[in-house]
């Protein structure tokens, strides 16, 4: 039987693939428990740091489930990476165990809404997750049926298998979908789920926990949903550098003993503290720094590995966010980041950003929107934690403007966006000249 010449070449030059895998395993001598370096890993409660108030509040709200009572609806809000999903999952995991001991059928169904396009898709995904949790299948197709049938199937699955169910809707504000009378899809989802217990179609008790980074999400919720959802609010603030150091020290045993130099944890915490106190970023920095150190054959993780990891993590996060946004949002973001870079402050005034946006759309022969639309698109980008907005005054007779402040290095955003070939016609030197001319007016 003929062999693949490519396969022979690999084994001739490097030995067998198994040998290569074993070599790499031997070289990877710094990290011993990679799961502890996964930001979304549900960790033991002794590793949860800096969230005592939120942990107590959520526990008090949800504990009634162990008495077979309906927990209240919750709204968890605050910046990305501040422990919202970590805490709610940790509490629910313990309630599930306590309910099992009391023969109470308590279910927890979590859905991240970021990649769910429509209300119908969201309802089907919830039904699918319930079916997976109880080991059965969904009896209606995903496409080609009215949403009412999907809702009935979801209710049937819940009624047959749960006494109480908590739906955790992560990044709920991302479920915009098709609007109905200017009401976004997430508002209609909240309305249906939160009123489910008051209908004849469902006998189980339903509680909804909405998680969002957008502090103004509830302003977009319709009046019907507001009156039926009425959540208990739990706010999550940024972690400070000290808390981030504690979080990383609580996961230090992910590495072998003496695998970290003394400056690794303080530096990783400091980098994460600069970008909204994001614990996910701090943990990701540690993991990436460890992987870089292993690949280079280092005997420990050192400062230079953290600095290299910082560059890599920033670019990866920006790439992940920008990959899915529209061309117009990319142009708005690119123009604003260019202003922030040249200003040297990491911030850009909206009027200057808009004039640079006009230059970009003219250069690329692209559609050009009014300043109000530019501002709205930049505001929408705040939900990705790339920028923050603040209204400022130019003086008593000059009106006001929005200032956009970047959480990431503007240069990193520009470099990442330049991977889109549609920006090839924007020349770097000319862009800098245009931006500086606007800044010096």
Reduced 3-state DSSP string for 100-116: HHCCCCEEEEEEECCCC
Contact 77, 212 (CB under 8 A): yes
**Among residues 440, 113, 280, 341, which one has the least CA distance to residue 333?**
341
- CA diameter of the chain: 85
User: Is 389 marked as binding a ligand?
Assistant: no
**How do beta strands 387-393 and 400-406 pair?**
antiparallel
**Among residues 414, 420, 404, which one has the least CA distance to residue 323?**
420
User: Is 83 marked as binding a ligand?
Assistant: yes
User: Is 333 marked as binding a ligand?
Assistant: no
- How far is it, in rounded angstroms, from Cα 276 to Cα 270? 11
Give the Cα-Cα-Cα angle 255, 313, 44 (nearest 5 degrees). Answer: 40
Mapped onto helix, strand or coil, the DSSP state of residue 376 is helix
Beta strands in 171-272 (DSSP E): 205-212, 232-235
107 CB-near residues (< 8 Å, 6+ apart)? 130, 133, 134, 158, 161, 162, 164, 165, 166
What tokens were used for 378?
């930049």
Q: What is the per-residue DSSP string for 13-65?
A: HH--HHHHHHHHHHH--SBS-GGGG-TT----GGG--S-HHHHHHHHHHHGGG
Helices (H), 181-261: 185-194, 223-229, 241-249
Q: Residues annotated as binding site for ATP?
A: 82-86, 239, 251
Annotated binding site: 82-86, 239, 251
């Amino acid at each position: 039987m003929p062999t693949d010449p490519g396969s022979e070449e690999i084994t001739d030059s490097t030995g067998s693939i198994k040998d290569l895998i074993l070599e790499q395993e031997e070289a990877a001598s710094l990290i011993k428990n990679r799961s502890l370096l996964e930001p979304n890993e549900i960790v033991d409660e002794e590793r949860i740091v800096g969230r005592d108030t939120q942990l107590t509040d959520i526990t008090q709200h949800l504990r009634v489930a162990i008495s077979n009572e309906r927990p209240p609806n919750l709204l968890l809000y605050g910046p990305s990476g501040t422990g919202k999903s970590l805490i709610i999952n940790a509490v629910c995991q313990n309630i599930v165990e306590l309910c099992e001991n009391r023969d109470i059928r308590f279910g927890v169904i979590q859905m991240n809404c970021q990649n769910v396009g429509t209300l119908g898709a969201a309802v089907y995904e919830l039904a699918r997750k319930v079916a997976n949790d109880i080991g059965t299948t969904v009896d209606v197709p995903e496409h080609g049926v009215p949403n009412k049938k999907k809702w009935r199937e979801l209710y049937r699955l819940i009624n047959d298998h749960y006494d109480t169910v908590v739906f955790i809707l992560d990044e709920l504000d991302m479920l915009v979908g098709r609007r109905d009378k200017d009401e976004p899809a997430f508002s209609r989802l909240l309305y249906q789920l939160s009123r489910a217990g008051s209908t004849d179609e469902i006998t189980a008790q339903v509680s909804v926990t909405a998680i969002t980074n957008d502090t103004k999400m509830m302003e977009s919720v319709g009046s019907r949903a507001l009156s039926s959802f009425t959540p208990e609010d739990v706010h999550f603030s940024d972690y400070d550098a000290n808390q981030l150091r504690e979080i990383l020290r609580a996961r230090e045993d992910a590495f072998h003993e003496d695998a970290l130099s003394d400056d690794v944890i303080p530096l990783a915490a400091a980098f994460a503290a600069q970008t909204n106190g994001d614990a996910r970023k701090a943990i990701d920095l540690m993991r990436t720094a460890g992987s870089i150190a292993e690949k280079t054959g280092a005997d420990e993780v050192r400062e230079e590995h953290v600095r290299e990891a910082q560059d890599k993590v920033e670019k990866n996060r920006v790439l992940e966010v920008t990959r899915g946004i529209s061309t117009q949002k990319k142009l708005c973001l690119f123009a604003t980041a260019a202003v922030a870079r040249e200003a040297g402050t990491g911030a850009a005034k909206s009027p200057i950003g808009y004039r640079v946006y006009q230059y970009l759309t003219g250069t690329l022969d692209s559609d050009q929107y009014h300043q109000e639309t530019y501002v709205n698109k930049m505001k929408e980008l705040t939900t990705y934690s790339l920028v923050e907005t603040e209204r400022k005054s130019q003086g008593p007779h000059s009106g006001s403007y929005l200032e956009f402040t970047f959480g990431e290095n503007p240069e990193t955003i520009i470099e990442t966006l330049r991977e889109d070939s549609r920006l090839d016609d924007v020349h770097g030197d000319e862009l800098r000249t245009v931006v500086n001319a606007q800044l010096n007016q």
